[in-house]
Homo-oligomer: A and B are copies of this chain.
Amino acid sequence: MNPGRCAACRYLRRKCPPDCIFSPYFPPNVPQRFVSVHRIYGASNVAKLLQQLPSHLRAEAAESLCMEVQYRIEDPVYGCVGLISSLQQQIHDAEKQLAKTQAEIAFLKSHAQHSQVALLDDAANLGFSNHQGSSGFM
Instruction: Give the interface SS of chain A, mostly helix, strand, loop or mixed.
Output: helix
A120-138 interface bits toward B, Cβ cutoff 8 Å, 1 = contact, 0 = none: 1011001101100110010
A95 proximity list for chain B (CB < 8 A): 94
A68 proximity list for chain B (CB < 8 A): 68, 72, 79-81
Knowing A41-B45, A101-B102, A134-B133, the reply to whether A81 touches B78 (Cβ < 8 A) is: no
A44 proximity list for chain B (CB < 8 A): 42
Which stretch (A1-9, A22-30, A82-90) binds chain B? A82-90
Interface residue range, chain A = 35 or more
Contact assessment for A101 and B105 in the assembled complex, using a CB-CB cutoff below 8 Å: yes
A109 proximity list for chain B (CB < 8 A): 108
A98 to B96, CA, bound (A): 10
Which A residues between 50 and 94 are near B, CB-CB below 8 angstroms?
Answer: 52-53, 57, 60-61, 63-65, 67-68, 72, 76-84, 87-88, 90-91, 94
A81 proximity list for chain B (CB < 8 A): 63-64, 67-68, 80
Asked whether any CB of chain B lies closer than 8 Å to the CB of A32, the reply is no
A61 to B87, CA, bound (A): 19
